[in-house]
Amino acid sequence: MGKKRIVVKIGSSSLTNKNGGLSQNKILEHASAIAELRKMGHEVVLISSGAVSAGFADLGYPSRPVTTAGKQAAAAVGQGLLIQSYTEVFKQHGIIAAQLLLTRNDFYKNEQYTNAYATLTELLKRSVLPIINENDSVSIDELTFGDNDMLSALVSGLVHADYLIILTDINGLYNQNPRTIPTARRYDFLEEITDEHLGMTNNPSSSKFGTGGMKSKLLAAKTALSLGVQVFVGTGTGKSKLLEILEGRGDGTYIGSQLAPALKTQKQWIAFHSPLSGAIEVDDGAARAILHEGKSLLPAGVKKVSGLFAAGDVVEIINTNHEVIGKGQVQYSSDELNLIKGMASQDAKMHTNNPHSEVIHRNKWLSMAKEKTI
Ligand SMILES: Nc1ncnc2c1ncn2[C@@H]1O[C@H](COP(=O)(O)OP(=O)(O)O)[C@@H](O)[C@H]1O
Ligand SMILES: N[C@@H](CCC(=O)OP(=O)(O)O)C(=O)O
């Protein structure tokens, strides 16, 4: 097998002892498994939960706190302890660890998203092991990932990973929760995640210390697949567990068919993270050109502009039947576009100081059209 880029997500339930505190033995085992992957030449990004688990006891809480303030305070104490453990343990394997704390906002804002990509790329280039967690202590309630499953999916897309391995306390997805239904059957392989699969995991985490449960893992797997990343959800023991998973001998569920094309970084941002700032209606010729001929959108094809947006924002593109056919990052503001809509590119340039010929360049455009839409 050639060199692969692998994102490994370790959930709270796989890092804690029976009191809910951080288990040093588990950290040691995960680290030795990651070190084995690296020895084989693979690149690894680690998404690790465990900050709340590592911190709550020092704050005087008898058990893992349930309030947001309690969890944020515990994470503020625990994140340092967590990364200290990892740093020391990885050092024994000759691996330098780096800490990155991310929030939802880092994925919404194009500049921050691109920056995160640049930092991760540089760390991997220098053979450093990035260890990522949600920035729990500052995340605003509505913006939090809550659990790290979705964060791991988005990061695996961001770094163009080959695989996302989600390690948890159960060996894969079952058709019912096996903790409550002993006759539940495990899926060894799923080509895709359907609504039926999501329905099998209705209840949230029933492990004591995890957050999202199997449902959030499947939602994350679905996102990772759409970003071109294959997924494994399950468990394992010993230092060879990650290599075994990679070789197809893992104890869990393999998800994906290796067919999804990986989206480039900027297109991922447009597809999954960018806020929508307005809409542009285009004529039939322009719709055909951007949908079927691989062309950019020019001012001549613009019929109507809705909303207030600036150059660099992302807008929806609507056809003459008022169907959304895609979205893209504009090179003109709404004010400029209102001036030049319908004009030939040469005339458009003379009416504004904008040097661009295209309203949306084809590299910053994402089709969302159904088969038959013009
Ligand atoms: N259909 C299902 N198959 C497998 N696990 C399920 C299912 N439905 C619910 N679960 C629960 O999901 C739990 C794993 O999620 P969670 O506790 O959040 O883990 P982590 O801390 O690793 O993120 C399992 O312990 C199991 O109780
Ligand atoms: N960011 C939190 C993780 C929250 C959580 O429990 O996540 P998970 O183990 O993925 O269900 C922490 O570090 O404690």
Q: What is the ipTM of this complex?
A: 0.94
Token readout for 236 is 């394992």
Given a cut of 70, is residue 204 above it in pLDDT? no
Given a cut of 60, is residue 55 above it in pLDDT? yes
Note the pLDDT of residue 150. 93
What pairing do the DSSP bridges indicate for beta strands 314-318 and 324-329? antiparallel
Is 9 in contact with 165 (CB distance < 8 Å)? yes
In sequence order, the 6+-apart residues with CB closer than 8 A to the CB of 240 are 33, 36
What residues are in contact with ligand 1 under a 6 Å CB criterion?
A: 11-14, 147, 168-170, 173-174, 176-179, 200-201, 203, 205-207, 210-214
Q: What's the 352 CA to ligand 1 centre distance in angstroms?
A: 56
Given a cut of 80, is residue 259 above it in pLDDT? no
Q: What is the CATH number of domain 5-265?
A: 3.40.1160.10
Mean pLDDT across the chain, nearest whole number? Answer: 90
Greatest mean pLDDT range, 220-234, 245-259, 263-277, 348-362:
220-234
Given a cut of 90, is residue 46 above it in pLDDT? yes
Note the pLDDT of residue 3. 93
pTM here? 0.81
- What is the distance of C-alpha 283 from the center of its chain? 35
Minimum-distance ligand 1 atom for the alpha carbon of 176: 1
Q: Report residue 205's pLDDT band, with 50, 70 and 90 as the boundaries.
A: low
Comparing CA positions, the residue from 104, 209, 95, 97 lying closest to residue 154 is 104
Residue given tokens 């997924």 in the structure block = 231
Digit-coded pLDDT (tens) for 333-361: 999 999 999 999 888 888 888 888 899 99
Look at residue 203 and give its three-state secondary structure. Answer: coil
From atom 13 of ligand 1, which residue's Cα is the shortest distance away?
Answer: 213
Given a cut of 60, is residue 252 above it in pLDDT? yes
Note the pLDDT of residue 310. 94
Q: What is the dihedral of CA 6, 12, 15, 16, to 10 degrees?
A: -170
Is 228 in contact with 157 (CB distance < 8 Å)? yes
**What percent of the chain stands above pLDDT 70?**
93
Ranges of each domain in the chain: 5-265, 275-367
What value does the mean pLDDT take over residues 105-130? Answer: 94
What value does the mean pLDDT take over residues 118-144? Answer: 89
Residues 86, 84: Cα–Cα separation, whole Å? 5
From atom 5 of ligand 2, which residue's Cα is the shortest distance away?
Answer: 147
Digit-coded pLDDT (tens) for 57-66: 999 999 999 8
Residue given tokens 């995340």 in the structure block = 139
Taking the CA of 233 as reference, the closest ligand is 1
Q: What's the 168 CA to ligand 1 centre distance in angstroms?
A: 7
What value does the mean pLDDT take over residues 207-225? Answer: 81
What value does the mean pLDDT take over residues 1-20? Answer: 93
Q: What's the 118 CA to ligand 1 centre distance in angstroms?
A: 33
Q: What's the 16 CA to ligand 2 centre distance in angstroms?
A: 11
Q: Report residue 76's pLDDT band, with 50, 70 and 90 as the boundaries.
A: very high
User: Which residue from 168, 185, 196, 197 has its CB within 8 A of the most atoms of ligand 1, so it is best to mutate?
Assistant: 168
Radius of gyration of the chain (CA): 23
Given a cut of 50, is residue 302 above it in pLDDT? yes
User: Which residue from 7, 22, 49 has its CB within 8 A of the most atoms of ligand 2, so it is best to mutate?
Assistant: 49
What value does the mean pLDDT take over residues 258-271? Answer: 70
Residues 83, 99: Cα–Cα separation, whole Å? 7
Is 314 in contact with 277 (CB distance < 8 Å)? yes
C-alpha distances in angstroms, 37 versus 5, 8, 41, 114, 130? 10, 11, 7, 27, 14
Q: Select the CATH number that applies to the domain covering 275-367 from these four: 2.30.130.10, 3.40.350.10, 3.40.50.1820, 3.30.70.2740.
A: 2.30.130.10
End-to-end Cα distance, the chain? 43
Note the pLDDT of residue 371. 42
Comparing CA positions, the residue from 48, 71, 220 lying closest to residue 136 is 71
Note the pLDDT of residue 367. 82
Residue type for position 104: R
Look at residue 69 and give its three-state secondary structure. Answer: helix
Note the pLDDT of residue 207. 57
